[in-house]
């Protein structure tokens, strides 16, 4: 029984020592906090997806999609937008 455990430990060590670091500790993107997401709508006559992605990537964590003729950006903002509730 002790030999089986020792062989298992040695095999695990060989696998983890020979594998690249990204295979052992897989890359996980940072979690997005919904309260810290800001949006920006850029009106264009024709939305070019590549240009939209390029424009939105100027913001931290920015992602852009075309919605009809508009470019819709979602990006990370350090201060969440404040909701204004009228009295």
Which residues, 6+ apart, have CB-to-CB distance to 56 below 8 Å?
40, 62, 63, 64, 71, 73, 74, 75
Residue 29 is predicted with a pLDDT of 58
pLDDT in tens, 29-54: 566 666 778 889 999 999 999 999 99
Report residue 81's pLDDT band, with 50, 70 and 90 as the boundaries: low
pLDDT at 80 over 60: yes
Residues in the chain: 87
Quick check: pTM over 0.75? no
Structure token digits, residue 28:
């996980």
- Residue spans per domain, the chain: 2-27+34-76
């Amino acid at each position: 029984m002790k030999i089986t455990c020792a062989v298992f430990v040695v095999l695990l060590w060989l696998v983890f020592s020979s594998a690249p670091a990204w295979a052992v500790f897989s890359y996980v993107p940072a979690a997005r906090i919904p309260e810290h997401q800001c949006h920006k709508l850029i009106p264009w006559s024709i939305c070019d997806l590549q240009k939209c992605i390029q424009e939105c990537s100027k913001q931290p964590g920015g992602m852009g999609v075309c919605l009809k003729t508009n470019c819709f950006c979602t990006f990370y903002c350090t201060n969440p937008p404040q909701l204004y509730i009228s009295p």
